[in-house]
Amino acid sequence: MAIVGYTSATSYFPEEPVEFHLSTDDANDPNFILEILRIGAETPVRPQVRGTAQARSYPSDASENGCRWPAEDDLTFQIPGDWPSGVYIARFTTDAQATNDIHFVVKSVVSLDSVDEGATKNRWSLADRADRESQEAPDSSTTPP
């Protein structure tokens, strides 16, 4: 595998920037094409981008503190506001056709106003259910044994 790396986070909201931190373990094959795919979609969701990775070393404490490689500024992009939530793949394919996938999640934005409104309109909410059940419970003092 010629290109290795990670994103600055594992999940993002729409409009947040995605940064890639990359390295190559093959100095003879540092060029790549990056395409972004959504799992379940038929076609890439973003035009392909060409880039070149540099060889970077792994710090001795990488397992505890990460690699801390610099972000590739020319690859940073902002998640479009209209991207649906889901799992996305950043696929790096080198000139020699070696590939590496980096996964990230796009989260959905939920308005708390719409959640509260839905809960207040739901007559079967937990509080209502508890009230109904207490009213429907037979009075043990009038129930024959």
For 77-100, b/e burial (b = at least 16 CB within 10 A) is eebeeebeeeebbbbbbbeeebeb
- CATH classification (class only), 3-106: mainly beta
For position 25, what pLDDT does the model report? Answer: 82
- What is the CA angle 125-131-132, rounded to 5? 90
Q: Are strands 11-12 and 17-18 parallel, antiparallel or unpaired?
A: unpaired
Chain length of the chain: 145
pTM: 0.71
Q: Are 69 and 31 in contact (CB under 8 A)?
A: no
Per-residue pLDDT of the chain (145 residues; tens, 9 = 90+): 578 999 999 999 999 999 999 999 888 888 999 999 999 988 889 889 999 999 999 999 999 999 999 999 899 999 999 999 999 999 999 998 999 999 999 999 876 665 555 555 555 555 555 666 666 656 555 555 5
Q: By three-state DSSP, how is residue 89 classified? A: strand
Cβ neighbours around 5 below 10 Å, total = 19
Domain ranges of the chain: 3-106
Cβ neighbours around 117 below 10 Å, total = 11
